[in-house]
């Protein structure tokens, strides 16, 4: 059983520490990239730890210093996607731009990360379907990302950007389902760019996420009343 995904998270930044730490980060990155390349080329199930160590030019002991199993490589890949949602949540909390813009960029960013290799996306989907350990990890990751995404939708509802007749958690699950389908479809027939396709799909979905007329009307009236109150001299 793969440990909680947070334990598998890697930092994409090379630390400013000493040479030994930089070497550790570079070695882990080389193993990680070699593994992903082999998953794309041969498939996850067909790739062995020996294949990965040979491609990365490291010993098996070195591999196990960074990844207890090859399943942990996919857990790390998934953790990076969760980290993208976490960054979007932080952006939404800043309130310096519409939450819907943050969500659009999130959809495009996650798609852009996956677009580096259609073959890799296909291999990951196949691994989820055929390997219980990977499927269990996916479930944990999906639940974590869904809770974060629901928080973003809740903020969008509170700011009047998204309809409130549907729960934030349901919206999060719907978006996850749609974009997993978008990535799977693109991986099977990669015409155009995945990022561009994701943006187009989001723009279509955004129309259905807008506040309903019954919700928007009270807000407009409240805004007019507020404007009128501010225009009255001495009002306070």
d(CA 81, CA 5): 11
Assigned token pair, 217:
């009307």
Domain boundaries along the sequence of the chain = 5-66, 74-224
CB-neighbour burial class of residue 188 (10 A; exposed 0-12, middle 13-18, buried 19+): exposed
Nearest CA-CA partner of 80 in 33, 19, 125, 43:
33
pLDDT greater than 70 at residue 214: no
**In this predicted structure, which of 12-21, 52-61, 148-157, 203-212 has the lowest mean pLDDT?**
12-21
CATH architecture of the domain 74-224 equals Orthogonal Bundle (1.10)
Place of tokens 């793969």: 2
Task: Find tokens 């007329």 and name the residue.
Answer: 213
Residue 165 vs residues 138, 161, 223: alpha-carbon distances, Å: 29, 13, 21
CATH classification code of 5-66: 1.10.10.60
Whole-model pTM: value is 0.78
Tens-place pLDDT, residues 118-135: 899 999 999 988 889 888
Percentage of the chain surpassing pLDDT 90? 60
Which of these, 136, 5, 12, 152, lies nearest to 82 by C-alpha position? 5
Length of the chain: 236
58: left (phi over 0), alpha (psi -120 to 50) or beta: beta
pLDDT at 218: 53
- Our measurement of the distance from residue 120's CA atom to the centroid of its chain's CA atoms, rounded to an integer in Å, reads 16
pLDDT for the residue numbered 208: 94
Q: What is the model's pLDDT at position 192? A: 77
Q: How confident is the model at residue 190 (pLDDT cuts 50, 70, 90)?
A: confident
Residue 228: what pLDDT?
A: 45
pLDDT for the residue 101: 96
């Amino acid at each position: 059983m793969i440990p909680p995904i947070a334990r598998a998270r890697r930092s994409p930044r090379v630390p400013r520490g000493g040479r030994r730490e930089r070497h550790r980060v570079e070695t882990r990155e080389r193993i990680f990239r070699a593994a992903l390349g082999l998953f794309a080329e041969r498939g996850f199930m067909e790739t062995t730890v020996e294949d990965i160590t040979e491609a990365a030019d490291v010993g098996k002991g070195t591999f196990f210093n960074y990844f207890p199993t090859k399943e942990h490589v996919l857990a790390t890949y998934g953790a990076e996607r969760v980290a993208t949602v976490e960054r979007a949540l932080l952006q939404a909390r800043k309130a310096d731009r519409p939450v819907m813009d943050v969500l659009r960029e999130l959809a495009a960013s996650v798609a852009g990360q996956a677009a580096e290799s259609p073959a890799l996306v296909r291999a990951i989907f196949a691994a989820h379907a055929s390997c219980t350990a990977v499927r269990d990890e996916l479930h944990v990751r999906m639940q974590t990302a869904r809770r974060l995404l629901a928080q973003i939708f809740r903020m969008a509802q509170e700011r009047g950007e998204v309809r409130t007749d549907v729960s934030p958690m349901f919206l999060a699950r719907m978006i996850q389902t749609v974009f997993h389908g978008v990535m799977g479809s693109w991986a099977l027939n990669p015409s155009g760019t995945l990022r561009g396709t994701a943006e187009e799909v989001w723009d279509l979905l955004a129309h259905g996420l807008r506040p309903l007329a019954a919700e928007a009307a009270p807000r407009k009236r409240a805004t007019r009343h507020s404007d009128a109150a501010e225009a009255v001299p001495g009002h306070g």
